[in-house]
Amino acid sequence: MARAIAHDEQGRLLPQAGHGDSDIHDHGHDDHGGEHPTSTGLNNVKVLMWTFIASECLLFGSLISTYLAVEGRTIPNTPGPELFDIPYTSVSAFVLLFSSLSMVLALAGLQAGDQRQLRIWLFVTAALGLVFLGGQYYEFSTFYFEEFWLDKNFLGSSFFLLTGFHGAHVTVGVIWLLALWLYSLRYGIAPEKSLLVEISGLYWHFVDVVWIVIFAVVYLIPYSRIEGGGH
């Protein structure tokens, strides 16, 4: 659609609709499809998402610091990192990595104008997210029966709060992706609305990136110290 930019007689920009609410959804406007005339040329919602992600770095940073600050100070005869099942967790880690792949494929499909690709990969991403959550549920319940729980010791508290917080983020992401998927099934998403998918993708990849850090710092490092100390 034509994006007319109005000028007054001195060549100055006339007021643009985009200076109102810059929601990513269409509002029934002629000139909302493209970029909003923002000061930087960057889309408001995308700036919002990156700002939010930046802020989340501190959220997860604090949780990881908590875990590592008191790491290694387990009280005797309480469960510790020796319970971690590294091969099992590495499968989980790869499930999440692969969901990141399917997420970019969904976006690439949409940008190529291929609705089928978009729908398939959106669904695959959400499904992989659910697989990850199922895996986490199984892992948590195994730990629970092995007497490793959030009220047992500091390690348990910080482990379950950190991984639980991450799991909550995955849950929100899955709901978001499923909503997008249903929306794309019912209405389709126009390629110029690819921002809808891109924003959810940014969130999803960030959640994946956090897991990359958790996998190394929370699982591998403490486990390696047990191994090293034990032998």
Partner 1 sequence: MATTTQAPPRVLRRPVEAPSGLWSWLTTVDHKRIGVLYGVSSFLFFLAGGIDALLIRLQLGKPMNELFSPDHYNGFVTMHATTMIFMALMPMSVAFFNYIVPLQIGARDVAFPRLNAFSFWVFLLGGLIMSSSYLVDAIPNQGWYGYAPLTIREYSPGLNVDFWIVGLQILGVATIAGAINFFVTIINMRAPGMSLMRMPLFCWMTLITTVLILLAFPVFTIALTELLFDRHFGTTFFDSTRGADPLLWQHLFWIFGHPEVYILIMPAFGIISEIIPVFSRKPLFGYAAMVLASMAIAFLGFGVWAHHMFTTGAGPVAYTFFALSTMLIAVPTGVKIFNWLGTLYGGSINLRPPMLFAVGFIGTFVIGGLSGVMHGTVPVDWQQSDSYWIVAHIHYVLFGGTMFALFAGIHYWWPKFTGTMLNDKLGQATFWTMLVAFHVTFFPMHFLGTAGMPRRMSIYPTGTGWDFWNLVATVGAFALAASVWLFVMNAFISLRRGEPAGNDPWDGATLEWAIASPPPVYNFARIPTVSSRDPLWVEKRSEETAVELGFAPRRAVAVVADPVEARVHMPNPSFWPLVAAVGLSMIFAGFLMPWYLGAFPLITLLGIPVLMVGITSWSFEPAG
Partner 2 sequence: MSRDYPGADAEARHGSTAHDAHAHPTPATYIKIAVILLIITIAEVVVLYIPSETEGFGLTWFQPVLIPAFLILAAIKFVIVVGYYMHLKFDDSFFLRVFGFALLIALTIATAVIALFHGISL
Residues that bind partner 1 (CB under 8 A): 8, 12-17, 19-23, 25-31, 38-40, 42, 44, 47-48, 51-52, 54-56, 58-59, 61-63, 66, 69-70, 73-75, 78, 150-151, 153-158, 160-161, 187, 190
Q: CB of 124: closest distance to partner 2 in angstroms?
A: 13
In whole angstroms, the minimum distance from the beta carbon of 193 to partner 1 comes to: 9
Question: Which ranges of the chain does DSSP label H, i.e. alpha helix?
Answer: 44-69, 86-111, 115-145, 154-186, 194-214, 221-230
- The site partner of 31 among partner 1, partner 2, none (C-beta below 5 to 8 Å per kind) is partner 1
When the beta carbons of 20 and 113 are compared against partner 1, the nearer one is 20
Handedness of CA 22, 28, 33, 38 (dihedral sign): negative
Q: How many of the other CB atoms lie within 10 Å of CB of 58?
A: 10
What CA–CA distance (Å, rounded) separates 78 from 14?
69
Contact partner at residue 9 from partner 2, partner 1, none, CB < 5 to 8 Å by partner kind: none
3-class DSSP string for 164-185: HHHHHHHHHHHHHHHHHHHHHH
221 binds, among partner 2, partner 1, none (CB under 5 to 8 A by kind): partner 2
Nearer to partner 1 by Cβ, of 13 and 221: the residue is 13
Residue nearer to partner 1 on the CB measure, 93 or 155: 155
Q: Rg for the chain (alpha carbons), in Å?
A: 22
Contact 121, 102 (CB under 8 A): yes
Binding stretches for partner 2 (CB under 8 A): 5, 7, 11-13, 35, 37, 39-42, 46-47, 50-51, 53-55, 57-58, 60-61, 64-65, 68-70, 72, 86-87, 90, 93-94, 97-98, 100-101, 103-105, 108, 111, 201-202, 205-206, 208-209, 212-213, 215-217, 220-221, 223-224, 227-228, 231
- C-alpha 54, offset from chain centre: 13
Tell me the residue type at 33: G
Please tell me the number of Cα atoms within 13 Å of 181 on its side-chain side: 18
Nearer to partner 1, 87 or 145 (CB): 145
Distance CA 143, CA 158 (A): 14
At CA 159, angle to CA 157 and CA 160, rounded to 5?
A: 70
Cβ of residue 103: shortest distance to partner 1, in angstroms? 20
Decide whether 72 or 134 has the Cβ nearer to partner 2.
Answer: 72
Question: Which residues, 6 or more positions from 79, have their beta carbon under 8 angstroms from its beta carbon?
Answer: 143, 146, 147, 148, 152, 153, 155, 156
For partner 2, give the closer residue by CB, 97 or 149.
97
State the binding partner of 103 from partner 2, partner 1, none, CB within 5 to 8 A by kind.
partner 2
